[in-house]
Amino acid sequence: MALSAIEVGDLTKDFGGLRAVDRVSLRVAAGERRVLIGPNGAGKTTLFHCITGTLRTSAGRVSLFGRDVTHLPEHRRTALGMGRTFQTSNVFMDLSLLENLVLAIIGTDRRKWVMHRSVGTFEAVRAKAREGLELVALAHRANDAAKFLSYGERRQLELALALNSDPRVLFLDEPCAGLSPSERHSISRMIGELPRDITVLMIEHDMDVALRLADRVTVLHRGRAILEGTPTEVQTNPEVREVYFGHV
């Protein structure tokens, strides 16, 4: 069997008396684009946080690339190749986009960049930063301060920041939330064009975006994974239409 990027077994998360995630199992193959859908409060973000290590699980197991990470803190999972948005706090509003990327690059690879600092190395960092901005179509704003970005452009910058650590698996929680239709289109196109060596697990409410980007879709409802299938299988499933779309 192909290598799994993410493997979750019987994962449960309780908040006091509330079971937000209820014995969810799923396996995402390396290179796959998996989209999580489900109504508000279904447990999607909580499941995400348990996989990334932001939250401790109440029960069950999480593996990344075959390595059991259930008890590893978030930064150790990041070291295994986990990238994620949207940690807005990582954006320095008064610095330019290029400077933000440069800092992020230096931050993720401190030993490589800082211990052997030289003009040549710094040029390499700047070049990588520029590449990162090009990838999310923000190269033309490289010298503008982050505070002058529109909401949609800030999300593009956050995507660049997440990608800058060369993640093997990228977690995106509603990357298109709050965007205009044209911004939504450009972010989803960028996600669609990510190289296939990056596995993507994404929560998405916009059904068009979700079904266009996904190889497979997992439907969460009241903390449980009620269905997994191709976009077509999910779209035509009567139970999903009932719980998610509110009609059959």
Ligand X SMILES: Nc1ncnc2c1ncn2[C@@H]1O[C@H](COP(=O)(O)OP(=O)(O)OP(=O)(O)O)[C@@H](O)[C@H]1O
Which parts of 17-56 interact with ligand X (CB under 6 A)?
18, 20, 38, 40-46
CB-count burial class (<10 Å; 0-12, 13-18, 19+) for 201: buried
44 or 184: CB nearest ligand X? 44
20 or 135: CB nearest ligand X? 20
Question: DSSP state, 191?
Answer: H
- For residue 57, the number of C-alpha atoms closer than 13 Å in the C-beta half-sphere is 25
Q: Which two tokens stand for residue 172?
A: 């995106």
Instruction: Give the start-end residues of each E strand in the chain.
Output: 4-15, 18-29, 33-37, 59-64, 67-68, 82-84, 169-173, 199-203, 216-221, 224-229
Instruction: Work out which of 45, 63, 96, 121 binds Mg ion, going by CB under 5 A.
Output: 45
Give the binding range for ligand X (CB under 6 A) out of 14-22, 133-141, 159-167, 229-237: 14-22
Q: Considering the complex, what minimum distance in angstroms separates the CB of residue 204 from ligand X?
A: 10
Q: Considering the complex, what minimum distance in angstroms separates the CB of residue 158 from ligand X?
A: 17
Identify which of 204, 211, 205, 201 has the alpha carbon closest to the alpha carbon of residue 236: 211
Give the binding range for Mg ion (CB under 5 A) out of 6-14, 41-49, 109-117, 213-221: 41-49
Residue with the CB atom nearest Mg ion in the bound state: 45
Site residues for ligand X per CB under 6 A: 15, 18, 20, 38, 40-46
